[in-house]
Structure 1
């Protein structure tokens, strides 16, 4: 991330003037600063589109298997034990946009009422994928179990009431906690076909009051239909859990439409790559894990703990 990054402010405020949203300039493609709205507060999440490459899935394929690779960066700033994110969910939904640049069948289908969603990009891979843990801690939890037996000398203790005796058993269990990141494909606004969204969830180490990881770099590989060179959109939604009060206020603001939505990022497969690090005609060979990084931001033994997946 840059030394002076663009700040996406998510902390709650009651100011009526907080109405700014990130918008596309006329005909802007692949906007760098991707999400956020202008709200004053200490907690901030930054979002940027780092790299985009459009090309082919594999060189040994049928020659018409288009796909796109997008790398995003996010950072959560301003956290401390008394003011932090408990959880942050980042959802990136991809959708086809218009019929220009698509095969004639797409235009005919649209005219016949066929839904444009058939041309939505498909999430073919992402990183991080699954569960990733860092800043792991363990603690011992102990508990006692008590029960009473009523007994009377010379009688059956199970049948006769009498004096009370208490027996205790104790055990201890090693319990763990960690800061975590989870990445998964998702279906959003559809119930068939292939996943059209990537979802990343950041969770804190609750026992350490750590807040969520400070930096997250993700990579998403998208498949497009043969012959598809049309525009598609990425709608990025960031939701955060801070406290019961702040979360409830945020929910009400969303329901009432008080939270302005950012413009979706417009992707154009005809735009040249932003980097030459990836093989344009064989994007399936890219190790998505090498492009992914997670950083806790917590200093451990004088160094910041980081994890690359």
Structure 2
């Protein structure tokens, strides 16, 4: 995404983990960080599995990821084992003239034991390309200039000079269309064979109105688990780009890795957003769970 000269942007990598999730933030050695920033997210020693607070980065720009729901079950009664995961992402700015112009989130799933097959990503939402709050503008460009003429005349020993100036203008108008864009996909990560083991989303701001990315995005993932009892984990990466002239890393400082998170299929469903039929996870419309909003109310925009 090209930025105008008055919107110089820089990127930071913000990975973090939740039981089955590993977030890492990569910053330049010279980045010192905001004094108000807070860093590492850790597992609760008394309940180390599937914590809800996946990542929390606070500073001039806040980035958060929360596990809204985790449901282990099956695709259908007596069917293949499955897991439904719902995540809430929040992107907030605390200081004026700072906004996140794009963000990228990705998950890669793998079995906890090398000998076990990895979980398979069956579906995800949002999926494909969707636009939010499209805008249409008319842009006009006007060019102008002078046309001059000289005339000379004589007669009876007289000479006449004439300089005529004519102002001209040319105006060109065009319609421009833009929108906030959300793109979701199912990916094959780390190998060139086998079933898909990853998902990713990209959030791109509407540059015509410079509103930044949505403040709230709820995503849903449906996994098939080849081994019903095998634990698994997910590596999660969050990358964001802000409209700052200096590295956004200075908003967070040098951040250690968050604690890794493991998913345990024996744990009961969380059922925070709704009560799920764990024996029919394949029947759930993931689009009903996903949401995109420009505030953190959780209402789709």
- Provide TM-score, normalisation by structure 1: 0.69
For the 8 Å contact 1:135–1:296, the answer to whether it is kept is: no
Query: If each structure's strand is expressed as a fraction of its own residues, which one has the higher value?
Result: 2
The offset of 1:214, in angstroms, is 0.8
Cα distance in 2 between the residues matched to 1:56 and 1:228: 9
- SS in structure 1 opposite 2:288? helix
Number of aligned residue pairs: give it. 245
**259-268 vs 174-183, which moves further:** 259-268
Task: Quote the residue 2:176 is aligned against.
Answer: 175
* The one of 32, 35, 39 aligned to 2:55: 35
Cα distance in 2 between the residues matched to 1:16 and 1:85: 17
* The one of 65, 82, 93 aligned to 2:108: 93
- Provide TM-score, normalisation by structure 2: 0.71
1:46-65 alignment to 2 at 5 Å? 46-59=64-77, 63-65=78-80
Task: Quote the residue 1:285 is aligned against.
Answer: 283
Task: Quote the residue 1:265 is aligned against.
Answer: 261
Cα distance in 1 between the residues matched to 2:99 and 2:203: 12
Q: Measured at CA, do residues 19 and 205 of structure 1 come closer, stay the same or move farther in structure 2, by a change above 3 Å?
A: closer
Cα distance in 2 between the residues matched to 1:89 and 1:79: 20
Task: Quote the residue 2:120 is aligned against.
Answer: 122
Cα distance in 2 between the residues matched to 1:51 and 1:307: 18
- SS in structure 2 opposite 1:51? strand
Provide Cα deviations, 1:188-218, integer angstroms capped at 9, x if missing partner. 2222112211211111111211011011111
Cα distance in 2 between the residues matched to 1:46 and 1:171: 45
For the 8 Å contact 1:35–1:237, the answer to whether it is kept is: no
Structure 1 residue runs of 5 or longer lacking an equivalent are: 1-7, 100-109, 111-115, 146-166, 299-303
Structure 2 residue runs of 5 or longer lacking an equivalent are: 1-22, 144-167
Q: Measured at CA, do residues 81 and 134 of structure 1 come closer, stay the same or move farther in structure 2, by a change above 3 Å?
A: farther
Task: Quote the residue 1:235 is aligned against.
Answer: 235
Cα distance in 1 between the residues matched to 2:191 and 2:113: 18
Larger radius of gyration: 2
Query: If each structure's helix is expressed as a fraction of its own residues, which one has the higher value?
Result: 1
Q: Measured at CA, do residues 220 and 178 of structure 1 come closer, stay the same or move farther in structure 2, by a change above 3 Å?
A: same
